[in-house]
């Protein structure tokens, strides 16, 4: 599958129908997940209605971490095997991951205000998540700052790989340090601590975020490939003239 | 139990939906723009003798 997709021409053929397919899946899952989360899921016995913020906050957190991991793998492949499509994939994923990380921080703050009594606290989880968001912005800024795309790809890949160290810090921050943020409650030894009535909308929203990520990743990659084609043709035209 | 809290919930959903919609719109417009330019390039190539 990966080697098939690694050919840009074949990738363009496949993504031409994969991108809209994932788009439709995302719309359907959001159409189910949003009312389920907002109206039909139960309130929490302690947090009341504010628990509904979990359905938009947690998937944003999960996917901002997973997308950075994906970028790390793509950056490694691009750096070691010099595969242009891997660099394109890493760059295409970054604005989506940055948006998810930004939404995670904002919705987390909106959840923290009524439950913790504070919008922000410089504790391990919140600070490491802010660092992840800043790394995303730094990665995007580095790509924009360097005109030579090959050099930009190399340096951005190195930055991305160095930034990978932050992923376990984000994940284990609630274990390593005393923090306001609750420990892992879905994926943890001994099973989920969340009521099954809340897991349904949570996973529906998580899959909706995933489908949206796939759609936008394919669209971003297609835009990058088309842009390279157009710019290469323009350069060929200029050198011929 | 925390009473009320709906204002925080609505704010979180409004930020999320508008943020994701804005991202989707920007990505779609950019993809369409470069696809149109690539198609124009192909058409020019075919038109060349």
What's residue A179's pLDDT?
A: 81
8 A C-beta contact, residue A50 and residue B7: no
Round the average pLDDT of chain A to a whole number and report it: 92
A63 contacts: CB under 8 Å, gap ≥ 6: A97, A100, A206, A209, A210, A213
The structure's pTM equals 0.93
Complex ipTM: 0.92
pLDDT tens digits for A136-146? 999 999 999 99
Contact A34, B13 (CB under 8 A): yes
* Residues of A engaging B, defined by a Cβ cutoff of 8 Å: 34, 38, 43-50, 52-53, 56-57, 60, 95-96, 99, 102-103, 106-107, 110-111, 113-115, 212, 215-216, 219-220, 222-224, 226-227, 229-230, 233
Interval A157-179 mean pLDDT: 93
What is the pLDDT, as a whole number, of residue A4?
A: 61
- What is the pLDDT at residue A2? 58
Q: How confident is the model at residue A195 (pLDDT cuts 50, 70, 90)?
A: confident
In chain A, the percentage of residues whose pLDDT exceeds 90 is: 76
Helix axes A84-116, A54-81, angle to 10 degrees: 150
**A219 pLDDT exceeds 90?**
yes
pLDDT value, residue A55: 97
A229 to chain B: nearest residue by CA? B38
B14 touches chain A (CB under 8 A): no
């Amino acid at each position: 599958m990966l080697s098939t997709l690694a050919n840009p021409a074949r990738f363009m053929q496949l993504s031409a129908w994969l991108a809209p397919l994932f788009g439709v899946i995302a719309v359907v899952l959001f159409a189910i997940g949003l009312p389920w989360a907002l109206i039909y899921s139960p309130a929490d016995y302690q947090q009341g209605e504010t628990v509904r913020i979990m359905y938009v906050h947690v998937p944003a957190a999960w996917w901002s971490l997973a997308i950075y991991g994906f970028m790390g793998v793509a950056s490694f492949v691009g750096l070691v095997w010099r595969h242009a499509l891997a660099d394109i994939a890493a760059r295409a994923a970054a604005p989506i991951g940055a948006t998810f990380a930004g939404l995670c921080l904002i919705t987390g703050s909106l959840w923290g205000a009524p439950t913790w009594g504070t919008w922000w606290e410089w504790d391990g989880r919140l600070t490491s998540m802010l660092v992840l968001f800043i790394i995303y912005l730094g990665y995007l800024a580095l790509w924009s700052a360097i005109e030579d795309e090959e050099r930009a790809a190399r340096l951005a890949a190195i930055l991305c790989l160095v930034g990978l160290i932050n992923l376990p810090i984000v994940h284990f921050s609630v274990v390593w340090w005393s923090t306001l943020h609750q420990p892992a409650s879905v994926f943890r030894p001994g099973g989920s601590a969340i009521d099954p009535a809340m897991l349904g909308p949570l996973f529906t929203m998580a899959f909706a975020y995933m489908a949206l990520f796939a759609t936008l990743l394919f669209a971003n990659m297609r835009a990058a490939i088309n842009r390279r084609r157009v710019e290469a043709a323009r350069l060929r035209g200029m050198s011929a003239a | 139990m925390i009473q009320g809290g709906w204002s925080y919930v609505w704010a979180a959903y409004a930020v999320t939906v508008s943020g994701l919609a804005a991202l989707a719109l920007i990505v779609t417009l950019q993809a369409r723009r470069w696809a149109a330019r690539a198609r124009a390039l192909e058409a020019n190539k075919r038109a060349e003798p």
